């Protein structure tokens, strides 16, 4: 496994869906930083199941317990370790997993990689639950970044073909981000949000699932974050986003659309604004030039495939029967994980940005 | 900078566009591997400028000189270091760079990050030339992977809106890949290739530039490569692809299209083929499940923005004048770097896959 | 902090002396390895305080709780995280620490490094308690190494000037190691052991402390472990040994004595033994040549300074008074930590060797 | 191999004794640092063979050529790569190596580890020549550290049993260090130096070799360098010192002697000096408490075994004959490498300290 990430900031994530606990150990945080654990708890709530009718009915307290690393509510230089106990598990839901790998899941690949020794219950270390410790780490990083003037926010840009409106990624402000992230179903346009929820409900009724796209923006970045060539902003952020289950594509700025543009259109002209700051008139580059932050908003989009666990009948193989088999997944499953993944995307970006921030400002 | 990459395989790239030499140091290669340097040279030729009418007219020998690491043509356990001398440079082309950052380039961000001490000539360490050592390393990795039955190939999937046909990513073979990569302008459909070249010529005539998409496939992967959660195949490959200048998006399998699909459609059913191997009927997952290779072809697409250096007049700022200025870039510039980037994409994937291969097969 | 170690094996240690818990997260263990937690518990007991009259009277259960990473008693590929709760703490013992740094401790250096935000209670993250998670990790590694034929054992080579007899480091066997490590006070010669305990008792009576030397041996190593130049066996093992508090010197084979020998004496001649194995007649090289294991027993010695916490009056500075002050440390303190450090030394070596073992046997 | 080192500073060393060139790639240096290449050259001269009658008669220009990373004599943010060509090699000296491993060398272990594919000529990547690129990197780091007020110097503390006098490691100054390092044979006491040279000459006459001890001191360190628990100063410095061939022991402060002292003696009392700085009255701790620098001089000693290559007859095995054989090494060999290793020790410490310095002073 490589549940370890980072250069200046080291993140180690542990836990399986049905182990005693899941958690994260964070080493390298700047000292003396006040961490508001209630705010962290609130951030985790945004991903917790049982929140709304469109998520699974599995309920977990998801209350993190800090084991070390804080002294009088501030980072004390020692690693910050937080643990979340797994309290609501229904093992019998997963009895089929021993016999047949679920299409679209890591059951098959993990079984081969770990030679049958993997903890298959609930997807083991590949379960979406492991985004909880990722979110804990991200929430801590976000608090520290906020104090440095950096704000991260995300909205659901699309569910299936249903699209939200866009932000003005040249002039977007922290306030505009917060206006959206505070919503239970975070879209810029509420009407689009309602349509998306209808699409998700429809999928649930059909025992099917849908995917979507999350777009995130970070404002207030200083110029100069990113360590080319292999740890540029895009490399760092993408590596972390792909750690979130179901991500199949990551793009920055104009992204894949840039491939269809002429240079004269895609290039963002530089200019001095009234205060003498250097900005660009447009932001097709999405805040990163040569892998280094330009000071313009960082714009990134992550594409999520539809949730693999659907109740419809599927075709797979039998491990022991050695025959092709039919599988019907029962139990509690999200028809769409995108709404719950929004804080995960913000968390991933926060971890990458803090690591790069700590790398840039050195002796 | 972080010009260092890898876990089991360590790649260090050095050089600037106008330094004495550029090169790469590779540590961790398996011992006793025969390296065909002529084949490496041929691979580098695919990216060398001056090859065809659509590239820049800057010509470099681009002949790598191996300084260490091979003994009697085989990897000897010591690091493999190769150097390429920069022989054809015209410094005067870049005299404006001291005065004004070019839109779309790293001039601005590097100047701020490195406090004005960066080597700005030709883009310094951010120059596309630094893909030459990346390609050297990739070519070496590809030879080693080939012997393990793994073949990587790529085609130009699109230039602007002009698209190539697709591969059958379920049944694609090494031969099908090689049939395309051996072409000077690597497209599956030759007609599409001609149209693309016309689009590029048109852009050149207009003193403009275009971008495109490269799609790569790796066949013959064993099941089990990838180290979740942070070093899954997608994380590793994406991190390396974003090290190639101009990449703004990376997607796997169905990619962003997966966001528009239902689960019943996107899920790839498992089955036993006639020989008893486990395969999937479709390949929307693009060869990676849970960040681990499934044995199906790995499918990845990288989006390239249009080349920033265009001859048309652009708007930027003057470093010393502190006023908004007009810039006209002279010199030799590619109207489209996508054809030259094809081997770079293959190289990036090869490095990531060999690192993961060496991680998986351990004591 | 860098509480993270390892290349193939990643160890993250968390916790402070008085935080809720201490623990370790281990990533990269081979899958399917059966871990006998009772044996691990027994190993930890060897370092647990309250064991004998010569240790502190602080008693801790020191029972590790595995949070993740084992499934049906075997490593399952996901990170193995274990936690030990801190249950017996007497904070009031350390009230002076806020006012005056203790000579020989990290109070001063940590206060400056962490700008006063460090958790000073009981020495925080610098407490000897943090060797408990190190020992947990080491015990797990030792079980895995045992199955590969590698046995590690250590004895107390000296307390102050009182010396144990020596092992025959050419012909030493696993049995000879185990005969010593099973003793409560692990010396080869029991009489020497009694003398040492008398020296320790004397120091305690004088409100003073003593140091000592621990010698460890690993037998059954294959030839070829170690990754020169920077991750040779000596580099790896030394780096880990210096993570144990109070270590001030590490030497291999003849060590510092090698500096006084002629080459004709120090060189170990090679020969074929009766079974055709390559061995050396003597073992001044201590099992490592060029940073790579030779197959001969690995021999290493670590020197421990006397415990800094003594009850005698000492001179130090007052943080707030800004004057020179007198300090009298009360509370429970070991007059000698060497007996408790024996398993820590074995643990450190086990972690280093398993990491190198996993690096050597790759694809 | 792991010829890569460092966290913030990344050092990659390449080359074998008889490859085309050897060199080093350094990534992560602070930008804008002026590097005096003549001073670097002078530093390398201190290790170059052919300097005096006590070294080998192999002569190499040892002139490093900077390939990248400097722009107008300053570090420009891109990796600094330097290469030294191997020009004076006499291959026929090493023809025996194919047949018989030399006692005390890495021939045997490397042959097994690298399955016979290693470059055995002159010891390959294990040759003492590879200390040249290490010294280049160290010299660069030393210049940068000097500007931060940190000076490193070393003397030959002992050759065989012949000892130099000691420095006052409490009050030692940069000037005192420089007074010794500028000598051709760097000892504090010149008479002791002459005796040592006589011992070396005697060994040469006997076709034998001797070892010794080098003691190094670093003054001007700020308080707070070192990242416990695994990257404390001792761990970092020791790991790098063991990368120098022939090092078999490393100790800090009182080192192994600390094991014989009482706590009341070994503890160094803190006090405020006249200027209000916090110092210790004695320096048994050698400048490191809890793995973090205390501001007092860092004191470290490295023990070197006697050079393995002696002309006397030795016993070894025949690879192909499968019999025990007699070996007589001809060619040019140092009777004692300690004098040439002095700059290597300084270099190793400089690299470790700069890495830690860059880690401490972050955002």
Q: Find which of B2, B285, B299, B358 to mutate to test the A interface (most A CBs within 10 Å of its CB).
A: B2
Contact C76 A4 (CB under 8 A): no
Q: Is the pLDDT score of C93 beyond 80?
A: no
Mean pLDDT over each residue of chain D, to the nearest integer: 91
Question: Which pLDDT score, from 0 to 100, does residue A145 have?
Answer: 97
User: What would the mean pLDDT of D169-174 be, rounded to a whole number?
Assistant: 98
First vs last C-alpha separation in chain D: 33
Q: How many CA atoms lie within 13 A of B224 on its CB side?
A: 17
* Of A95, A93, A65, the residue nearest A80 (C-alpha): A65
Sort out which chain C residues have CB atoms less than 8 A from A116's CB and list them: 32
With an 8 Å Cβ cutoff, are C77 and A117 in contact? yes
pLDDT tens, per residue, chain B with 363 residues = 667 788 789 899 999 988 999 999 999 999 999 999 999 999 999 987 555 545 554 455 678 999 999 999 999 999 999 999 988 666 555 666 678 999 999 999 999 999 988 888 878 888 888 999 999 999 999 999 999 999 999 999 999 999 999 999 999 999 999 999 999 999 999 999 999 999 999 999 999 999 999 999 999 999 999 988 899 999 999 999 999 999 999 999 999 999 999 999 999 999 999 999 999 999 999 999 999 999 999 999 999 999 999 999 999 999 999 999 999 988 778 899 999 999 999 999 999 999 999 988 864
- Name the band, by pLDDT with cuts 50, 70 and 90, for residue D122: confident
Tokens 């020296």 correspond to: C199
Out of D242, D263, D294, closest to residue C109 by CB: D294
Res. C96 pLDDT band, cuts 50 70 90: low
- Average pLDDT of the residues in C62-70: 92
- What are phi and psi for residue B305, nearest 5 degrees? -75, 160
Q: What is the pLDDT of residue B329?
A: 87
Q: Is D229–C223 a contact, with Cβ atoms under 8 angstroms apart?
A: no
pLDDT value for C229: 87
What is the DSSP code (8-state) at residue C259?
Answer: G
Mean pLDDT score of chain C, rounded to an integer? 91
Helices (H), C187-321: 190-205, 233-241, 263-266
CB–CB contact C358 B357 (8 Å): no
What is the distance between the alpha carbons of residues D229 and A3, in angstroms, rounded to a whole number?
20
Provide CB contacts within 8 A for A272, sequence distance 6+: A278, A279, B317, B322, B323, B324
Measured between CB atoms, which of B243, B293, B303 is closest to A235?
A: B243
- C18: which DSSP letter? T
Q: Are A245 and A309 in contact (CB under 8 A)?
A: no
At B52 the pLDDT is 52
Is residue A38 very low, low, confident or very high in pLDDT (cuts 50, 70, 90)? very high
> In this model, does residue C87 exceed pLDDT 90?
no
ipTM value, please give it.
Answer: 0.95
User: CA B297, CA B285: separation in Å to the nearest integer?
Assistant: 9
Taking an 8 Å cut-off on Cβ atoms, the answer to whether A269 and B235 are in contact is no
List the subunits that have 3+ CB pairs under 8 angstroms with D.
Answer: A, B, C
Q: What is the DSSP letter of D109?
A: H
The per-residue pLDDT for A8 is: 84
Contact C94, C122 (CB under 8 A): yes
Which residue do the tokens 């220009």 mark?
D61
Q: Do the Cβ atoms of A104 and B268 come within 8 Å?
A: yes
pLDDT at position C107 is 93
β-bridge partners, D13: D24
Compare D352 and B8 and report the one with higher pLDDT: D352
For the entire predicted model, the pTM comes to 0.94
Q: How far is D16 from chain C (nearest CA, A)?
A: 12
- Tens-place pLDDT, residues A308-330: 999 999 999 999 999 999 999 88
Of A255, A303, A315, the CB nearest to B259: A303
pLDDT of residue A102 exceeding 80, the answer is yes
Residue A58 has pLDDT above 60, yes or no: no
pLDDT of residue D147: 96
DSSP letter, residue D227: B
**What is the distance between the alpha carbons of residues A293 and B110, in angstroms, rounded to a whole number?**
9
Which of A8, A30, A363 is the closest to D357 by Cβ?
A: A363
CA distance C81 to C65: 8
- Chain A residue numbers with beta carbons less than 8 Å from the beta carbon of B266 are 104, 211, 305-306
Cα angle: C289, vertex C293, C296; to 5 degrees: 95
Mean of per-residue pLDDT scores for chain A: 91
Residue D297 predicted with pLDDT over 70? yes
- Tokens, residue C208: 């003073």
The whole-number pLDDT of residue A94 equals 63
Nearest residue to A206 via CA among A62, A53, A311, A332 = A311
Poorest-confidence range of A108-122, A246-260, B134-148? A108-122
Cα–Cα distance, C286 to C158 (Å, whole number): 19
Q: How far is B351 from chain C (nearest CA, A)?
A: 14
Higher pLDDT, A147 or B4: A147
Which pLDDT does position B58 carry in this prediction?
47
CB contact under 8 A, D68 and B19: yes
Report yes or no: A159 and A201 within 8 Å, Cβ to Cβ.
no
3-state per-residue secondary structure call for C172-195: CCHHHHHHHHCCCCCCCCHHHHHH
The CA-based diameter of chain B, rounded to the nearest angstrom, is 73
Task: Give the containing element (helix H, strand E) for D148.
Answer: none
Closest in B4, B110, B125 to D10, CB measured: B4
pLDDT digits (tens, 9 = 90+) for C136-188: 999 999 999 999 999 999 999 999 999 999 999 999 999 999 999 999 999 99
Closest-CA distance, D224 to chain A, in angstroms, reads 12
**Predicted pLDDT at B92:** 57
- Selecting from B14, B66, B113 the residue whose C-beta is nearest the C-beta of D67 gives B14
Going by DSSP bridges, is the β-strand pair D151-159/D162-163 parallel, antiparallel, or unpaired? antiparallel
Q: Which of B3, B83, B115 comes nearest D67 by C-beta?
A: B83
- In C, minimum Cα distance to B148 occurs at C363
Kind and range of the H or E element at C10?
Answer: strand C10-14
Instruction: Check if the beta carbon of residue A140 is closer than 8 Å to that of residue A332.
Output: no
Chains that touch C (3 or more CB pairs under 8 A): A, B, D
More confident residue, C332 or B139: B139
pLDDT tens across D74-102, in order? 999 999 999 999 886 665 556 666 789 99
Residue D146 has pLDDT above 60, yes or no: yes
Which of D32, D230, D231, D362 is the best substitution to test chain A (most A C-beta atoms within 10 A)? D362
Query: What pLDDT, on a 0 to 100 scale, did the predictor assign at position D250?
Result: 98
CA distances from C125 to A33, C104, C323 (A): 17, 16, 27
Number of Cβ within a 10 Å radius of residue D154: 25
Note the pLDDT of residue A49. Answer: 60
pLDDT band at D27 (very low <50, low <70, confident <90, very high): very high
CA-closest candidate to residue D150, choices D360, D362, D363:
D360
Q: What is the pLDDT of residue A250?
A: 98
Nearest by Cα to A289 from B108, B344, B208: B108
**Which H helix or E strand runs over B131?**
helix B131-147
Residues 6+ away with beta carbon under 8 Å from C338: C156, C159, C211, C212, C213, C214, C304
The most distant pair of C-alpha atoms in chain C lies apart, rounded to whole Å, by: 73
- pLDDT at residue C186, as a whole number: 96
Contacting residues of B for C363, CB less than 8 Å apart = 30, 148, 357-358, 360-362
Banded pLDDT at C324 (limits 50, 70, 90): very high
What residue in D sits closest to A363 (Cα-Cα)?
D361
User: Which member of B20, B27, B69 has the closest CB to residue D67?
Assistant: B20
pLDDT, tens only, C111-130? 999 998 888 887 888 888 89
Of B20, B87, B54, B60, the C-alpha closest to B341 is B54
| Residue A232: pLDDT over 80 | yes
* D330-to-B56, D94, D310, D327 alpha-carbon distances in Å: 56, 8, 8, 10
Determine the distance in angstroms separating the CA of D306 from the nearest CA of chain C, rounded to an integer: 5
The long-range contacts involving B320-323, CB below 8 angstroms and separated by at least 24 positions, are B320/B99, B321/B99, B322/A272, B322/A276, B323/A272
Report the pLDDT averaged over residues A117-122: 84
Q: Contact C31/A114, CB-based, under 8 Å?
A: yes
Residue in chain C closest to B363 (alpha carbons) equals C361
Element (H, E) at D338: helix D338-360
Q: By the 8 A CB rule, do D305 and D311 touch?
A: no
CB proximity list for D52: less than 8 A, separation 6 or greater: D184, D185, D339
Contacts of D31 in chain B (CB under 8 A): 114-115, 117-118
- Using a CB-CB cut-off of 8 Å, the residues of chain A touching D7 are 7
Report pLDDT for D127.
83
């Amino acid at each position: 496994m490589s549940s370890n990430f980072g250069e200046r900031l080291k993140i180690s994530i542990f836990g399986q869906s049905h182990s005693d606990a899941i958690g994260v150990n964070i080493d390298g945080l700047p000292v003396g930083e006040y961490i508001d654990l209630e705010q962290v708890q609130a951030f985790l709530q945004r991903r917790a199941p049982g929140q709304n009718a469109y998520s699974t009915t599995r309920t977990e307290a998801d209350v993190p317990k800090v084991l070390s690393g804080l002294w009088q509510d501030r980072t004390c230089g020692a690693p910050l370790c937080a643990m979340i106990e797994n309290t609501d598990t229904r093992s019998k839901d997963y009895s089929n997993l021993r016999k047949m790998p679920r299409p679209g899941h890591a059951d098959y690949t993990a079984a081969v990689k770990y030679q049958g020794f993997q903890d298959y219950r609930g997807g083991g270390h590949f379960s979406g639950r492991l985004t909880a410790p990722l979110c804990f780490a991200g929430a801590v990083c976000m608090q520290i970044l906020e104090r440095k003037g950096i704000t991260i926010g995300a909205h659901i840009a699309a569910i299936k073909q249903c699209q939200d409106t866009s932000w003005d990624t040249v002039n977007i402000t922290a306030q505009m981000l917060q206006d959206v992230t505070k919503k239970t179903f975070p879209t810029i346009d509420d009407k689009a949000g309602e349509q998306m929820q209808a699409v998700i409900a429809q999928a649930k009724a059909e025992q099917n699932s849908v995917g979507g796209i999350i777009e995130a923006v970070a404002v207030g970045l200083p110029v100069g974050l990113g360590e080319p060539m292999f740890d540029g902003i895009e490399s760092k952020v993408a590596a972390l986003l792909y750690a979130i289950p179901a991500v199949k594509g990551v793009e920055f700025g104009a992204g894949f659309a840039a491939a269809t543009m002429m240079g004269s259109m895609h290039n963002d002209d530089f200019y001095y604004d009234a205060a003498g700051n250097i900005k660009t008139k447009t932001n097709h580059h999405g805040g990163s030039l040569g892998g280094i932050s330009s000071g313009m908003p960082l714009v990134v989009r992550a594409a999520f495939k539809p949730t693999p666990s659907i109740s419809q009948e599927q075709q797979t193989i039998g491990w022991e029967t050695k025959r092709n088999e039919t599988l019907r997944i029962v139990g509690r499953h999200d028809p769409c994980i995108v709404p719950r993944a929004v804080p995960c995307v913000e968390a991933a970006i926060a971890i990458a940005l803090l690591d790069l921030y700590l790398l840039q400002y050195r002796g």
